């Protein structure tokens, strides 16, 4: 049995997404996997999101709230950050963690990425990290369409995913140790998924040790008409 299986929550009736039910174990594994680079990597991701002071931010599949809190620091006390996840135990954990002084307030809600219970165009910036590979491939477009719906025209999207090792041995180790979905995740398809949802891709790249990110914007109506 892999670490991934041990951390999984019970299946939910409303989503086939694989949830995490052991937030403490997730945090320990996360810290180990980043080998001391987690804080730096997520500070950089918060910068790459393009979020500005005062922004309303949504973090989809927020888990223990690690990126959520980095986003709260980024947008400052005038901003507001909402984290959504399908797993109550990770949300309980996230609620107990205080953002840094001078950060935005963080609010956490139970919810499903592929059917968000949130109004249209309610956010300036939407971020999602390491969540898409928890959904079956056929549901990923629906999750991105929901992110498109809830971000305002002109608003930004940051998608972050696990970049599997290039070597067969590396992928084999990730498969056996954590999960099949991580070991074989097609990060090369991310930009297409983001574009198909209606966004315009503005950048992409890698962050060590193993993250891939894609930045995009939801075009304003005039930009869509010109295209």
Of 65 and 155, which CB lies nearer to ligand SAM in the complex structure?
65
CA-CA-CA-CA dihedral for 172, 18, 26, 132, to nearest 10: 80
Q: Select the residue interacting with ligand SAM from 112, 157, 174, 217 (CB under 6 A).
A: 112
Q: Select the residue interacting with ligand SAM from 4, 15, 155, 194 (CB under 6 A).
A: 15
Of 61 and 99, which CB lies nearer to ligand SAM in the complex structure?
61
**Contact by Cβ (8 Å): 190, 159:** yes
Q: Stretches 101-109, 110-118, 172-180, 216-224: which one binds ligand SAM (CB under 6 A)?
A: 110-118
Q: Stretches 33-41, 80-88, 203-211, 215-223: which one binds ligand SAM (CB under 6 A)?
A: 80-88
Q: Stretches 31-39, 57-65, 100-108, 185-193: which one binds ligand SAM (CB under 6 A)?
A: 57-65
67 binding ligand SAM? (CB under 6 A): yes
Can you spell out the DSSP letters for 79-136?
-EEEEEES-HHHHHHHHHSPPPTTPPEEEEEE-BTTB--S-TT-EEEEEEES-GGGS-
Pick from 50, 59, 103, 107: which is nearest to 78 by CA? 103
Alpha helices in the chain (DSSP H): 3-7, 23-34, 38-48, 66-75, 88-96, 140-150, 168-177, 180-183, 190-196, 221-226
Q: Stretches 107-115, 147-155, 189-197, 208-216: which one binds ligand SAM (CB under 6 A)?
A: 107-115
29 binding ligand SAM? (CB under 6 A): no
Q: Which stretches of the chain bind ligand SAM, using CB under 6 A? A: 15, 17-20, 61-63, 66-67, 85-87, 90, 112-114, 129-131, 134-135
């Amino acid at each position: 049995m892999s670490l991934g299986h041990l951390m999984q929550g019970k299946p939910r009736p409303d989503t086939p997404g694989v949830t995490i039910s052991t937030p403490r174990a997730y945090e320990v594994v996360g810290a180990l996997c980043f080998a001391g680079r987690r804080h730096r990597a997520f500070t950089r991701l918060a910068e790459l999101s393009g979020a500005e002071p005062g922004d309303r931010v949504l973090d989809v599949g927020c888990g223990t709230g690690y990126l959520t809190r980095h986003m709260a620091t980024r947008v400052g006390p005038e901003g507001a950050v909402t984290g959504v996840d399908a797993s109550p135990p990770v949300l309980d954990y996230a609620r107990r963690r205080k953002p840094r002084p001078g950060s935005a307030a963080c609010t956490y809600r139970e919810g499903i990425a592929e059917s968000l219970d949130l109004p249209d165009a309610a956010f300036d910036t939407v971020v999602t990290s390491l969540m898409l590979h928890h959904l079956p491939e056929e549901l990923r477009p629906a999750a991105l369409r929901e992110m498109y719906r809830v971000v305002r025209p002109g608003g930004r999207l940051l998608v972050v995913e696990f970049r599997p090792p290039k070597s067969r041995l590396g992928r084999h180790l990730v498969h056996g140790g954590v999960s099949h979905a991580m070991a074989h995740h097609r990060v090369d398809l991310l930009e297409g998924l983001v574009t198909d949802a209606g966004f315009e891709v503005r950048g992409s790249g890698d962050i060590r040790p193993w993250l891939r990110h894609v930045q995009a914007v939801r075009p304003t109506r005039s930009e869509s008409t010109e295209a």
